[in-house]
Amino acid sequence: MQYIGSVYRPPSEAYSLIVQVTLGCAHNACTFCSMFKDKPFSLRREEDIFQDFEEARRVYRRVERIFLADGDALVLKTDKLLRIMDKIRALFPECTRVGIYGSPQDVLRKTRAELVSLREAGLGIVYIGAESGSDRVLAQVKKGATRAEIIESIEKTEDAGLPASVTFISGLAGRDGLREHAIECGTMISQASPSYIGLLTLIVEPPAPLCADIEAGRFALLSPTEVVEETRLLLEHTDVRRDCVFRSNHASNYVSLRGTLPQDKARMLAQLDAALQDAGLLKDERFRML
Ligand code: SF4
Any idea what the CATH number is for the domain that residue 168 is in? 3.20.20.70
Tell whether 6 is covered by a domain.
no
Tell whether 130 is covered by a domain.
yes
Run of H or E including 244: strand 244-247
Amino acid occupying residue 128? I
CA 131 to ligand 1: nearest atom? 1
Expressed as residue numbers, the domain containing 49 is 11-284
Tell whether 126 is covered by a domain.
yes
pTM of the model: 0.95
Tell whether 114 is covered by a domain.
yes
Tell whether 4 is covered by a domain.
no
The CA 208 to ligand 1 mean position distance, Å, reads: 11
- The finding on whether 129 has its CB within 6 A of some atom of ligand 1 is yes
- The finding on whether 103 has its CB within 6 A of some atom of ligand 1 is yes
The CA 225 to ligand 1 mean position distance, Å, reads: 27
Run of H or E including 106: helix 104-109
Run of H or E including 165: strand 164-170
Tell whether 67 is covered by a domain.
yes
Question: What are the C-alpha distances in Å from 265 to residues 89, 244, 247?
Answer: 38, 11, 12
Tell whether 190 is covered by a domain.
yes
Strand order in the sheet with 258-261: 17-20, 65-69, 97-101, 123-131, 164-170, 196-201, 244-247, 258-261
pLDDT tens across the length of the chain (290 residues): 899 999 999 989 999 999 999 999 999 999 999 999 889 999 999 999 999 999 999 999 999 999 999 998 999 999 999 999 999 999 999 999 999 999 999 999 999 999 999 999 999 999 999 999 999 999 999 999 999 999 999 999 999 999 999 999 999 999 999 999 999 999 999 999 999 999 999 999 999 999 999 999 999 999 999 999 999 999 999 999 899 999 997 778 888 899 999 999 999 999 999 999 988 888 777 776 66
Residues 6+ apart with CB under 8 A from 97: 64, 65, 66, 124, 125
State the total domains in the chain: 1
Question: What are the C-alpha distances in Å from 3 to residues 50, 233, 270?
Answer: 13, 40, 43
- The finding on whether 27 has its CB within 6 A of some atom of ligand 1 is yes
